Structure 1
Amino acid sequence: MIVLTVGLLGSHCEGAISCKNENGDNVDWFILYKKPDGFNYFYIDSTDQNLKENNKDKPVNHQAGVLAHTLGPYFESSPDFGFIAYNDQTPSCNALTEYGHSKGVVMMDKENVVWLLHSTPKFPERDKSNNFYPDSGKRNAQIFMCVTLPSDKSAQIGQHLKDINAHIFKEHNPEKFKDSSTAPQPLPYDNDLWSAGGQKFKHFVKQISKESKDGDLYVTIADTLESNLYIQTWRSDPKDLNKRPLSKTNKGYKLDTIIKVGTAAGTWEHGSDHSKWCVSDSKDWMCVGDSNREPSQFERPGGALCINSKDVADAFKGITKDIAKDSKRTGSPQNPSIPVKKKGG
């Protein structure tokens, strides 16, 4: 695994690379949440911190949409630019369990680094703007978080990717990414990360352990942020008491499983949601992770990127409509005293 540092790169012909919105304009960061059984989504970014539905003429796989605009340099593969794409479920292989369950694209030019984390297997499937999104990604809900960072943050991202054992399946100009690896950091760890626009983020790398109190990414996040969490991950059966992970952390913070999401793009239950995210119930943090709350993943490396934004945290608490029945809180996160109707009753 290589660790990213600043290469001697020329200027991109259209200026420094950046996350983009659906009009192709630069944004400091965005979060995109695709609905299941379709390609529409809802979205929030640095210029408008209100969750909103996408333009129906530009679904997530559109060649002039948010992802295609952001991945423009990836499709161009110009000589003054470098990228790596990592995914444990590549276009040619369904599962590589010796790697972290992580997925993303890192792009870099002289000025900026764009880090796009996501939960979609086989993404990007191809390197053309009109066929980059895999058809297999249509079935389940998926999440994407993009952040634009100064180029001097590339080594920090590279160390993160090394420590989560990300599987790189496609790269361009790999010589631009110099290896500056240092001694491995003790796990788990977290570090602050500031975007090019000054937004505070924090990235986490979890411990590897068969014990959920150590190997569960969300235990690490909750104990570090000192907050209860609402958590959405892919799980086989949240109602099976024998298969549930811890409901409390080592420090006594509560971990609630989200089982229903309600958005402008529709309402769905967790069984059709392949995204991995969590939100603090009392602090201004929302995170996109790469690990599920399953025992098999406690023994795999993994991590998360979290944004410190009240608007984002409130928006994601607002779409959480139901949590697992074993939780002592039976209402919605916004109104805990108001019971939420459970499935089947």
Structure 2
Amino acid sequence: MAMILFSFNRFVLYKLPKYNINESAGSGLNYLYLDSMSEGWQPGRSLINMTESAVGRVLEQLYRTYRTNSAVYMMYNDAPPSMKNYTTKLGHSKGILLFDKSQGFWLIHSVPRFPPFPEDGYGYPSTGQLYGQSAICVTYKYQQFKEIAIQMFSYNPNVYNCSIPEEYWDDLWGLQKICLGSHFPWVEPTHLITLESANGDTFLSFAKSKYFVDDIFTGWIAQTLGTDILTETWQPRGDELPSNCSLAHHVFNIKRLTLPSHSSFYSSHDHSKWCVSRLATAPWTCIGDLNRNPSQIWRSGGFICTQNKFIYNAFSRMVSYYKACIPL
């Protein structure tokens, strides 16, 4: 029997930071939301820590059905709910897979210690309130998850909870090994695939292994997409990669964002991970789980990219200021 899914093709979510420029603190739990039925950001109808939130409703499917052993699920995070510290030996990646022989979803996000273990039910960590966070969730047919499983080789995720019923072992032998804690001695430095959502939308999936020792934005994404890009990632002061104009297509760091409500915040209050093409002639938006700082050059992870014009407009119009390259 096919899994009953929350009726969406895809959505993107932007959890807003607690502090805005020249304004009093917010709750740190509000978010903006854009799905396949909308043309721009909409405020979340509830707080992100509530089961009625967009991500809460999606994950309720996992919390409701994980005991039935009828579907595949995998929860991965380099900072899982059970750990006080991060693991740096595995991928800097965070996400959830849930699917059956019909379809399911891949949720990619930036929130440490999230989501809770299935037996604990849905919740949102207090540590995720201070900074901005990003997420993208897309529904795919079953055949696409065989391709996504291959991407997981490069992601080398820190899996903290999973289940792969025996009927899936032949199709998903690699995912089963990852679920059991096995790691592969060698994978390709990069792996790029095209994915098609259940509704027919096209996405590019960039998966970088630890053997690709470079900034994923400068060395791969911008050059592959053939466009200059503006990046928004967690960049602690004193531990950041500067804007880079050394290759054919340049990469610039976003420094300040302005929301549809005209509130603004600095990138130093944002833990989200995304980029957009600098010009609208090539309207790319990518959302994922790697940052532009030196330590991330040796980490695995990836991004999912789309040319959907509504997603591009939503993100690109938030860019208030980005940093130019320093002349040599």
Task: With the length of structure 2 as denominator, give the TM-score of the two structures.
Answer: 0.85
Distance 1:249 1:152 in 2: 39
Where do residues 103-252 of structure 1 align in structure 2 (5 Å cutoff)?
A: 103-127=94-118, 131-175=122-166, 177-178=168-169, 179-181=172-174, 186-206=188-208, 208=210, 215-219=214-218, 220-237=220-237, 244-245=241-242, 247-248=244-245, 250=247, 252=248
Q: Which amino acid aligns with 1:60?
A: I
User: What is the aligned residue count?
Assistant: 300
Q: Is the 8 A contact 2:189 2:211 kept in 1?
A: no
1:85 alignment counterpart: 75
Where do residues 213-292 of structure 1 align in structure 2 (5 Å cutoff)?
A: 215-219=214-218, 220-237=220-237, 244-245=241-242, 247-248=244-245, 250=247, 252-264=248-260, 266-282=263-279, 283-292=282-291
Distance 1:198 1:96 in 2: 36
SS in 1 for 2:13: strand
Per the alignment, do residues 174 and 293 of structure 1 end up closer, same or farther by CA in structure 2, a change over 3 Å counting? Answer: farther
Distance 1:230 1:90 in 2: 29
Deviation of 1:228 (Å):
0.4
Distance 1:170 1:34 in 2: 24
1:69-95: CA deviation from partner (whole Å, max 9, x where unpaired): 111221111332221100000112221
Q: Check if 1:32 corresponds to 2:29.
A: no
Q: Is the 8 A contact 2:188 2:211 kept in 1?
A: no
Deviation of 1:326 (Å):
4.1
Greater shift, 293-302 or 257-266, is seen at 257-266
Q: Which amino acid aligns with 2:80?
A: T
Deviation of 1:185 (Å):
5.8
SS in 2 for 1:139: coil
Q: Is the 8 A contact 1:289 1:305 kept in 2?
A: yes
Distance 1:135 1:173 in 2: 30
Q: Percent same amino acid among aligned pairs? A: 28
1:42-77: CA deviation from partner (whole Å, max 9, x where unpaired): 11111112112222xx11111122111111221111
Per the alignment, do residues 302 and 46 of structure 1 end up closer, same or farther by CA in structure 2, a change over 3 Å counting? Answer: same
Gaps of 5+ in 1: 1-9, 21-25, 329-345
Q: Is the 8 A contact 1:122 1:134 kept in 2?
A: yes
Q: Is the 8 A contact 2:187 2:209 kept in 1?
A: no
1:143-165: CA deviation from partner (whole Å, max 9, x where unpaired): 11000001001111111112110
Q: Is the 8 A contact 1:142 1:275 kept in 2?
A: yes
Where do residues 42-81 of structure 1 align in structure 2 (5 Å cutoff)?
A: 42-55=32-45, 58-76=46-64, 77=66, 78-81=68-71
Distance 1:185 1:171 in 2: 22
Q: Is the 8 A contact 2:76 2:160 kept in 1?
A: yes
CA RMSD, 1 decimal: 2.3
Deviation of 1:284 (Å):
1.9
Q: Is the 8 A contact 2:245 2:325 kept in 1?
A: no
SS in 2 for 1:49: coil
Per the alignment, do residues 143 and 322 of structure 1 end up closer, same or farther by CA in structure 2, a change over 3 Å counting? Answer: same
Q: Is the 8 A contact 2:243 2:325 kept in 1?
A: no
Deviation of 1:114 (Å):
0.3
SS in 1 for 2:147: helix
1:267-307: CA deviation from partner (whole Å, max 9, x where unpaired): 21111111100011231211112111111110111211112
Q: Which amino acid aligns with 2:244?
A: S
Gaps of 5+ in 2: 19-27, 176-183
